Amino acid sequence: MPRRTLEYNYKRFFKTFPGQHMRYIKLALARRMLLEKTVNVGDIIYTLEDLGIHHPGHFGQAYKSYFGESMSETLNS
């Protein structure tokens, strides 16, 4: 199956593109880890790397845009 066909069908079913869906999953997982306090401030970068995130600054901006607070604010709440 061609890639564009797969992306089109994915968007039809999930109402989003695969890359956007993966970003949401990573954002949600990071948030859950922060809320459950399974990661501390010093380990956030390592945790993001484990999730396959290589640009923590971009991820942090996306996190704040999506959840309305920074990762450190979530961790300290």
pLDDT along the chain (77 residues), means of 10: 89 90 90 84 76 83 93 86
**pLDDT recorded at residue 67:** 96
**9-23 tens-digit pLDDT:** 999 998 998 888 988
Tokens of 34: 């922060």
**pLDDT recorded at residue 12:** 93
How open is the CA angle 13-14-17, to the nearest 5 degrees?
Answer: 110
Burial of 50 (0-12, 13-18, 19+ CB in 10 A): exposed
